[in-house]
Amino acid sequence: MPNNYPNTYEGQDGFLQEPQHDKNNYLLHIALFLITFITTTLAGAQWISGQPGPYQMSFVLKGLPYSISIMFIISFHEFGHYFAAMYHKVKATLPYYIPFPPIPIFLNFGTMGAVIKTKSIIPSKKAMFDIGIAGPLAGFVACLIVLVYGFTHVPGIEYLLAIHPDYFSPDYSKNGLDLIFGNTILFSFFKIIFVHSNQFFPPMSEIYHYPYLCVGWFGLFVTSMNMIPIGQLDGGHIAYAMFGEKRHFNIALISFVILAALGIMGLLDEIFDLSYSTGWSGWLLWAMVLLIVIKLKHPPVHDEEELDVMRKFLGYLSFFILIISFSATPFAIVISK
């Protein structure tokens, strides 16, 4: 996300600033895109099939709906930033996609997102706001497209039975680990409007077998992470431009406390098996990254001009998107008994 300081870390899905003498390496951009496409395809095949391999062509092809969807969402987000930067004549690189090795472990989505780098100073609050908000708004629209398609094209129960033939067995997943994706307001709303009462819809413990639902959910998760109004996250840029330095810091501090509290609650639940099903230990890790690496405070921007009414409306809309996309317990690992 934009700032006025070179070589500053911005988070997994924002953008960074680098010195003026660096040059775009287009081969690097293309190579990272292709590698990330491969790793997300393999990760998608693993999620959908529930198996780590073997990496035969028929197995790999299963991951294409997943990888195409996730690259679609990531690209919309990053090019939202990019074109907003171009509009304000801020020099920026093309996206650097970040692959993640398809190791068959929990929570491996095959990528850690993408970043762009701005190569000139952000000239004003308006420019910072526009560049900051363009990414999550564009990414959210892409999420909606993927989710609506996923909710309106849910295959019948035979699809899940092909993966888990014993799904209706009393011993299904007994004494095993279940990964449950957390519900969000938007996900629940889509269930109400798209899923009929007599229609089979997978439980949140099986969502990862459905590529469009899984990727759409993941897109909401990443959007909510970036829209937290702290430091130089997308939400931080937006809050700073809307409310100014002092109120931004107060908002950031409150957001950090809430995030840390959810993380501590999740950690205690995991350690002592308290079974209150609220919180996630990952939020504590993310809170520490925000505090130590990204920082809670936004660097000052020497521009006191107020945002216009339309920008303020979009800013409040972006925080509404945060609320409907956020899950206090995005992941839960439960031992079935």
Q: Picking from 117-121, 143-147, 200-204, which range would have the lowest pLDDT averaged per residue?
A: 117-121
Residue 99 is predicted with a pLDDT of: 96
Q: Which helix (H) or strand (E) holds 116?
A: strand 111-118
Q: Picking from 28-32, 164-168, 234-238, which range would have the lowest pLDDT averaged per residue?
A: 164-168
> Is residue 216 within 8 Å of 194, Cβ to Cβ?
no
In a domain, 10, yes or no: no
Residue 273 is predicted with a pLDDT of: 80
Q: What is the pLDDT of residues 132-141, one digit of tens each?
A: 999 999 999 9
In a domain, 9, yes or no: no
pTM of the full structure = 0.89
Give the residue from 267, 273, 268, 307 showing the smallest Cα distance to 286: 267
In a domain, 71, yes or no: yes
In a domain, 130, yes or no: yes
In a domain, 4, yes or no: no
Total of domains in the chain:
1
With a CB cutoff of 8 Å and minimum separation 6, the contacts of 289 are 11
Q: How far is CA 249 from each of CA 66, 93, 202, rounded to the nearest angstrom? A: 38, 29, 41
In a domain, 3, yes or no: no
In a domain, 6, yes or no: no
Residue 77 is predicted with a pLDDT of: 97
In a domain, 47, yes or no: yes
Q: What is the pLDDT of residues 148-202, one digit of tens each?
A: 999 999 999 999 999 999 888 887 877 667 889 999 999 999 999 999 988 999 9
Residue 218 is predicted with a pLDDT of: 95
In this predicted structure, the answer to whether residue 291 has a pLDDT above a threshold of 80 is yes
Residue 92 identity: A
Per the structure, the complete domain to which residue 318 belongs is given by 15-335
Q: What is the pLDDT of residues 64-115, one digit of tens each?
A: 999 999 999 999 999 999 999 999 999 999 999 999 998 876 678 999 999 9
- The DSSP bridge partners found for residue 280 are none
